[in-house]
Structure formats: structure tokens, C-alpha cells
Structure 1
Amino acid sequence: MRWPRTLLARIFLQLALLVLLSTAGWLSLFSHIDAEPRARETAQLAASAVNLVRAALFAAAPDKRPALFADFSSREGIRLLPAEAHDPIEPMPDMRFVRLLQRELEARLGPHTRVAAAVDGVPGFWVSFRLDDDDDEEYWLGLPRERAARNFARHWLSWSLLASALALAMAWFIATRISRPLKAMARSAAAVGRGQTPEPLPEEGAEELRRLAGAFNGMARDLERHERDRSEVLAGISHDLRTPLTRLRLEAELSIADESAQQAVIADIEQMEAVISQFMDYARAESGEAPQPTDLGALLGGLVDRQASVGRPLDAAIGELPECLLRPKALIRAVTNLVDNAWKYGGGEVSLRASAVDGEIRVEIADRGPGIPADEAERLKRPFTRLENARTNAGSTGLGLAIVERIARLHDGRLELLPNPGGGLLARLVLPVRR
């Protein structure tokens, strides 16, 4: 049997096993304790019936005994049979209760007393007796089987089932009280991992869970504050750097007479501005943007039109896409990064495909460049990582794919870097459909 994976199932299973084993143990103990007094009580009832029948037989004339036998059978459910040597007898089951019953009957009726479960094929609680100890003539007294049946099992089993049901309900309550805050914390931790700010966890329940929820809430608040401070610092740095860069560009255009030198300086300034923009894009991957119902097909169609207007036509095939919850600004930034990379390194032939497959949206940007080795794909998704071959250059910051990966995770999606059939790279952005 496979051990359950969830904490709720494990705690409940352990508590349930404890309850069931405890109930089984108590039932076994009660059964053992109950056997002796019940055997004594049953033997007393049987001995009393035998003594009454024996007295009636002594008092009745021999010719009246058949009528007496019939009266016993019809009124009291008691059967009397003369014991014969060839009578087929079914013994009682070999169990502790029967052994105790046999011992008690022998003590009351004599050592010759026998018990049987059936005589001549007639089931019941059969007890043998003699009219007196010196008489060899023996009779079978048949009592209803209920007289010897032990109602302990049914009586106690009903109570034990009720107690077990109540205990299992309490075990489920305890398990859910423990697992519910942990599940909420796992969801909040996943939200923090995606760069989101979760709702504060309720600080309730046991002392340990309250302290854990309080510590997590404090951590989430600290992370949010640090993220806000970082964004403010980066925004200030960006503003402070772009102002002198703009002045430098203006001075270069006005002061440098040599056109080639002027263009080189301007190119360096533009590269610096591009680096600053990439840093800012990585720092504000979600831009504080909330998810909203988005027509991704229209969004990608607008991107294709803008690329065509700047002289970079895409071979686009955008299928019918469902409207779902997305962050449109962050998503268009991710797709633009992939398209820019494809134009930069892809050899001038770039395609864009978008389709809905198995509850997912797949946006694929393919090129015919040198591609990426399969064993380097995951490493290149990390920040400030570059591949030292024809697909990169010294001017790259190594943040383009990291930005796309971060935005994909923000949407609970993923970025896949695959070889393009026929050569090149196929960058696939996979997003779950959320309505």
C-alpha cells in the first residue's frame, strides 16, 4: 500500500489506525472478561430448566409424560429427547466460552453432562441429563439457541462502531485543523515565489501555527518593502543616468565633427540606454500589473503589426485563442524580447505561432540562427548568463531570457528553448488558460 502524500491524509490515517486498534483491543478485552460471567449465567439458566423438567418428569405418571413433553415444547420452546447411542450429535464449537459453559454445567448437573449444537439434525442448545445419578437412562434437553448465544458481539459492536465513528470524525477535524493553515501557507509561499504579494495569513489556532503564520506574514511584508525600495532605487538610478546620457548624446551630435566618431559615441550611448532599460525590465517584471481578461490573439496581432511597421515582418500564424487572465504589458514585453532575440541572432527569418493546446496557450517564436545547445537551455534562463558563441556578443547583458522566464513564472507558465526543426531556435512560451 502506498503511503499517502498529503499531510491531511497521513495524520487522519494515523489517528484512524490508532482509534481502530484501540477499539479492537478494548473489544477483545471486554470479550475475554465477559465470557466467564455469561457462561455462568447461561449454565444457571440451563441447570434451572433441567431441574424443573426433571422434577416434572418425576412427578408425572409415565403415561402422562408424552403430553408433558409436548406441553414443554409448545409453551416453553423446550424439546426433550431420550438419548440413544446412535444419535447423530453435532458438538459445540471449541471456544473459551463453550469450555467455561461445559465446566459450569458439570459443576451443577454432574460430570456426565454433555452439550451439543444439534441432536438428530435439530439445531439448538442441547444439554444432557439423567433423572438421578444412578440412573443410566439419559435425556437431551433442547433449549432455544438464543439461550446460549452470546449477544455481546452485537451489543458491544454497535457501541464500538458509534464510538469509532465519533473518534474518526474528531480525527478528521483535528487533521484538517492542522493541514488547513499549512495549505494556505503553501499557496502564499507559491505566490511569493511568483513575485506576488499574498494576502496576510490568519494568525489563529495553536500557538505554534500562530507563530508560524506571524513569521510568514512578517517575511512577506519585509519582501514587499524590499521590493518596493529596490524599485524606487532602480527608478532613481535610471532617471539619474538617463539625464546625463541624453546630455552626452546632444553634446556628441553638436561637438564631434567627425561623423564616424560621432556615430560611434552615439551607438555607445544607445547601448548604455538599452542596458539600463533591460535592468529596469528585469527589476519590474510585473510592473505592479494585475491580471485582467485579455484577448491574447489581438495582443499578438498588434505586436506583429508594429514589427512590420519598423521593417521586421514576421511569418505569423495566430490561431483562435481563448480569452484568459493575463498581465498584458508584462506578456507583450516577454514576447517582444523573444522576437528581438530572434531578429538579432536568427539570420533574418523569424516566425510567430500561437495556438491553444490541451488547456494551454503556446506562443512560439522560431528563427534559423545557430540555435542553443540542449544542455545550455536551462542555464541561459538565469540572469546575466550568456552563451559565448555566434548567438551572443559582448554588448548583451544576459537578461533577455531571464526576463521572459520571470514573466512566464509570474503567469504560472514556463519558457522552453527547443531546437527548431530544420535548424535554429524555437522559443516556446507556455501559459495556462485561466478564465
Structure 2
Amino acid sequence: MSRLLPRSVLARNIALLIVLVAFTQVCSLSVLIHYVQKPRVERAAAVFGTYIKTLDNALAASPVDARDTLVARLDARSEPPAEAVSEPRVRLLAFYRTYQLATFLDTLHRYLPAGTEVRWQGAPHPRMWIRMHVAGTPYWIGLQVPEEAQGGGMLTAVLLSIGLAMLAALTGFALQAHLNRPLQDLAQAARRVSAGEVPPPLPVDGPTEIAQVSGAFNQMTQALQQAEATRALMLAGISHDIRTPLTKLRLAMAMANDTNGDEAFIGAAESYLDQIDTILQQFMDYAGSGERETPQSGDLNALISQLAADFAGLGHEFDLQLGELPEHAFRPITMMRLVMNLMQNAVVYGQTGLAVRTWADAHAIHVAVADRGKGLSAEELERLKAPFQRGKNAHGKTGGTGLGLAIVERIARLHGGTLEFHPRDGGGLEVWAVLPIQRDSGTAGAGEQSKAAAG
């Protein structure tokens, strides 16, 4: 039963409304037919039967010399027309008309003399042929059928009921669609929150129940923004408070080096200080991830080319295959951090076969950073998106916190995209940043994504 029911509340309510309206109409029509229409038809048949008996008696008692005149005036026939039948043919589309006529004929037989034959002639000129006696000779005489037996009024009632049922269903659909619109807005706002955006406040001027849900969602969104701001402030404070003594320690070590201190110890200590500084910077990058940066239209290929030149200056050559990209709005500094983190990971963990390629399809821009390092399983790669997770090929590497890919994945989501892992042809790994193409004019669509509480 659950598989047969529609999935949406709108469809279920409309289906329920249609069933209820149809059931109500069937019950109403049944009461109308049984308690109103049927007694009316039976009374008409009784009156009509009495009229036929009176007419038959009068015609039977008429003089023989007036027979021809009466036969001509009454259009009497020795045989009924060929299309006249004993029982009306049942037609599905004219069910109510057939039902009323059958009820009329059954009742009429009870009021006619025994042995009286009755035939029914349908369209185009409905008539009832009855065998009577004119001056003692049997003839078939055609009589007009009473309106009660033809079911015209009943057909009108049925059509009116169907029209009212359709009107009720359409009204219910309009009301339910009106109620569903705030729910759709709520679902869209929830999706924007999950994507790291801050949606505008939902209206709270609708029905009480919907307004309460919208108000609670607005409060939740504000609480998330406050929590995000508090987290960023706390991490900034921690970073500031820790970097101050680190700076003093670095200065003291430099002074010790000038006084012929242990150079090996001082060099190791400075390396540890650099690692601590790098870790602090990664924490700050993860806390911020560029939410406050304004998107701008720019050349993503130019940014990648500049980074590749910088890495080449450090002795790490990246093979570039840059495809033609459409105009796209992105956060320049944040996007540079995304590409740089991917390239740095390729250098540290892949070491060989370094490459960056870009291309675009109808829906998204793709930035792929590849290497020939030892591949990881799909489960391990997905696990690396979480903070503080490091792959097995990172064992023995220092200076990392397991936040690199988490920062990249967060930045991709900030731009409405995703981070994907693909095996590279010939061995190795490709990491794709898939960024949807903005279809809005200018940077309006991307500009709405501001101060998002990503995650």
C-alpha cells in the first residue's frame, strides 16, 4: 500500500480529496435515485398506466364506422416499427436514462391490463408503442413518453455533480499548493544552509503552523551564524595569543645563534616553529575558508598558470592542459588556496607525474590535479575529506594536520561544487574540483553566497 501512495503531501492530499468527493457524490446520487427519482418515476408510470387503460376502454367502445377516422388520427398501425423493442438497450454512457426507463416500464406493466404488449422506440423520436383495441380491432398506437421516464433531469444532476466535484478538487489543489509553497521555500533554505550559504530569513506571515516552523528555522540559522562567528573569533584569538610567544621564541633563538649556540639544535627548533606556524595557519584556513571574500569574475586558467610557475620556481614542474573556460565568478584568494592545497598534496604525496588540467562542460568547470603516487581505496579517499584524517601514504610526513583536503572540500562546497577522486589512466590519482557554472547575470548568483557557516 505504501508503494501505491504518492510520495508528496500535495499528491496524497489531492488523491484523498478526490476519493472523498467521489464517495460523497456516489452516496448523494444513490440517495437521490432511490428516495427521490425512483418514487417520482413510479408515480408517473402509475398515472400513465391509468391514462392508457382509460384510452383503451374508450377506443374499444367506439363505433365501427369511426374506426378508420380514429386510426388515421392516432397514427395506429397493425404492426409496430421494426426498431421498436420489448426492452430498451442498455448503454453505459446513458446508464441513468436507461435505469429510469426500465423502472418506468416495470411499474407501467403493473398498471396495465394483463396481456397488454408494450414496445419501446428510441432516438431520434422516443415513443412508446402500446397494443390497444380500436372498435374491437387490435392496433399499435405510439404515445409520447413522459419526461420523468427519459431521465433528462437526472442526467443534468449527474453532470452538475461531476462539475462540482472537479471544482472541489481544483480548489483543494490550489489551497494545498498555497500551503506547500512555504514548505518548498523551507526545503530550499535548508539545502542552502547545508551548502554553506546563509539564506534570507523566511517569511513568518503565513498560517500559524507554517509561521512557527519558519520562525524556528530563522532562529536556528541565526544561532549557526553566531556559533560560526564565535568559532572564528576564538580561533583567531588562539592563533594571535600563540603566535606572540612563538615570535619571541624565534627571536631568542636567532640571538642565540648569533652568540655561537648549538646550530643543530637551533635549526631543529626553528623547523619545529615553522611546523607549528603552518599548523596554526591551516587551522585558520579551515576556520575561515573564504566565506567573507566577495566573488569576482576572473580567469581561473590564469590563476592556475601563476601557481604552476611558482611551483616550478621551487623545482616542481606541473604539466598544464588548460581548456577553454567560460566566464565564471569565484573568490580569487580562496580559489588560489584550493588549487594550491591540491598541488601541494600532489608534490608531497605523489611526487612524480604532476599535472593540472581544466575543462568545462554544459554544467560545470572541472579543475583536476594529478600525480603518479600510490593510489588509495575509495573508502580511504572519502575519509580524507573529514578534518584531521591522513592517508596511509602520509605516514612519516611532518608538518600536516589532516586539514588540507578538508579545506579544499569546504571551499568547493562554498562555491556550490564538489570534490571528487578518480583513478588516473596509467596509474596514480586525479582530484577533481567540480564547480557549477553560474547562469545568473554578472556575479549576482555567487554574490549571494556570503558569510556562510560551512559544515
| TM-score tier after normalising by the smaller chain length | 0.7 to 0.9
- The structural deviation recorded for 1:53 is 5.5
Counterpart CA distance in 1 for 2:146 and 2:171 is: 40
- Structure 2 residue corresponding to 1:344, chosen from 332, 341, 348: 348
Q: 1:402 to 1:390 in 2, by over 3 A?
A: closer
User: 1:18: which partner in 2?
Assistant: 20
User: 1:175: which partner in 2?
Assistant: 176
- Structure 2 residue corresponding to 1:369, chosen from 360, 363, 373: 373
Q: 1:147 to 1:113 in 2, by over 3 A?
A: farther
Counterpart CA distance in 1 for 2:145 and 2:328 is: 75
Q: Is 1:320 the equivalent of 2:309?
A: no
The residue identity in structure 2 corresponding to 1:326 is F
- The structural deviation recorded for 1:193 is 1.4
Counterpart CA distance in 2 for 1:53 and 1:378 is: 97
- The structural deviation recorded for 1:287 is 2.8
User: 1:409: which partner in 2?
Assistant: 413
The residue identity in structure 2 corresponding to 1:212 is V
The residue identity in structure 1 corresponding to 2:100 is F
- Structure 2 residue corresponding to 1:287, chosen from 284, 291, 307: 291
Would you say the 8 A contact 1:381–1:401 is kept in 2?
Answer: yes
- The structural deviation recorded for 1:131 is 4.0
User: 2:432: which partner in 1?
Assistant: 428
Would you say the 8 A contact 1:345–1:392 is kept in 2?
Answer: no
Q: Is 1:40 the equivalent of 2:42?
A: yes
Counterpart CA distance in 1 for 2:249 and 2:235 is: 21
- The structural deviation recorded for 1:44 is 5.4
Counterpart CA distance in 2 for 1:45 and 1:332 is: 98
Q: Is 1:359 the equivalent of 2:355?
A: no
- Structure 2 residue corresponding to 1:395, chosen from 378, 399, 408: 399
Q: Is 1:276 the equivalent of 2:280?
A: yes
The residue identity in structure 2 corresponding to 1:177 is H
TM-score, scaled to structure 1: 0.86
Would you say the 8 A contact 1:282–1:399 is kept in 2?
Answer: yes
- Structure 1 residue corresponding to 2:108, chosen from 105, 108, 133: 105
- The structural deviation recorded for 1:64 is 5.5
Counterpart CA distance in 2 for 1:38 and 1:295 is: 85
Secondary structure at the residue paired with 2:422?
Answer: strand
Would you say the 8 A contact 1:379–1:385 is kept in 2?
Answer: yes
Would you say the 8 A contact 1:112–1:129 is kept in 2?
Answer: no
- The structural deviation recorded for 1:383 is 0.8
Would you say the 8 A contact 1:125–1:145 is kept in 2?
Answer: no
Q: Deviations over 1:261-319 (max 9, x none)?
A: 22211111111111111111111123323444444333333433443344433211111
Which stretch shifts more, 262-271 or 203-212? 203-212
Q: 1:266 to 1:30 in 2, by over 3 A?
A: same
Q: Deviations over 1:212-242 (max 9, x none)?
A: 1111111111111111111111111112222
Counterpart CA distance in 2 for 1:65 and 1:412 is: 99
- The structural deviation recorded for 1:432 is 1.6
Would you say the 8 A contact 2:355–2:369 is kept in 1?
Answer: yes
Secondary structure at the residue paired with 2:393?
Answer: coil
User: 2:451: which partner in 1?
Assistant: none
Q: 1:284 to 1:127 in 2, by over 3 A?
A: same
Would you say the 8 A contact 1:291–1:325 is kept in 2?
Answer: yes
Q: 1:123 to 1:166 in 2, by over 3 A?
A: closer
User: 1:158: which partner in 2?
Assistant: 159
Counterpart CA distance in 1 for 2:19 and 2:59 is: 57
The residue identity in structure 2 corresponding to 1:252 is M
- The structural deviation recorded for 1:41 is 5.2
TM-score, scaled to structure 2: 0.82
The residue identity in structure 2 corresponding to 1:150 is G
Counterpart CA distance in 2 for 1:137 and 1:266 is: 132
Q: 1:45 to 1:288 in 2, by over 3 A?
A: farther
Counterpart CA distance in 2 for 1:341 and 1:64 is: 121
Would you say the 8 A contact 2:101–2:150 is kept in 1?
Answer: no
Structure 1 unaligned runs (5+)? 73-78
User: 1:220: which partner in 2?
Assistant: 221
Q: What root-mean-square deviation, in Å, do the aligned CA atoms of Structure 1 and Structure 2 show? A: 3.3
User: 1:91: which partner in 2?
Assistant: 87
- The structural deviation recorded for 1:118 is 3.6
Q: 1:53 to 1:176 in 2, by over 3 A?
A: same
Counterpart CA distance in 1 for 2:325 and 2:155 is: 63
Pairing 1:240-319 to 2, within 5 Å after superposition: 240-256=241-257, 257-319=261-323
Structure 2 unaligned runs (5+)? 91-97, 440-455
User: 1:203: which partner in 2?
Assistant: 204
Which stretch shifts more, 171-180 or 364-373? 171-180
Which stretch shifts more, 148-157 or 42-51? 42-51
The residue identity in structure 2 corresponding to 1:307 is F
- Sequence identity percentage: 35
Would you say the 8 A contact 1:354–1:363 is kept in 2?
Answer: yes
User: 2:120: which partner in 1?
Assistant: 117
Counterpart CA distance in 2 for 1:191 and 1:345 is: 34
Counterpart CA distance in 2 for 1:115 and 1:246 is: 118
Counterpart CA distance in 1 for 2:38 and 2:296 is: 76
Secondary structure at the residue paired with 1:377?
Answer: helix
User: 1:75: which partner in 2?
Assistant: none
Q: Which has the higher contact order (CA 8 A, sep 6+)?
A: 2
User: 1:329: which partner in 2?
Assistant: 333
Counterpart CA distance in 2 for 1:372 and 1:32 is: 78
Which stretch shifts more, 388-397 or 251-260? 388-397
Q: How many residues align?
A: 427
Counterpart CA distance in 2 for 1:247 and 1:191 is: 44
The residue identity in structure 1 corresponding to 2:155 is R
User: 1:76: which partner in 2?
Assistant: none
User: 1:126: which partner in 2?
Assistant: 128
Would you say the 8 A contact 2:53–2:113 is kept in 1?
Answer: no
Secondary structure at the residue paired with 2:365?
Answer: strand
- Structure 2 residue corresponding to 1:379, chosen from 378, 383, 388: 383
Which stretch shifts more, 232-241 or 257-266? 257-266
Would you say the 8 A contact 2:308–2:317 is kept in 1?
Answer: yes
- The structural deviation recorded for 1:99 is 4.6
- The structural deviation recorded for 1:51 is 6.1
- The structural deviation recorded for 1:321 is 1.2
Counterpart CA distance in 2 for 1:176 and 1:19 is: 18
Counterpart CA distance in 1 for 2:8 and 2:336 is: 38
Would you say the 8 A contact 1:91–1:118 is kept in 2?
Answer: no
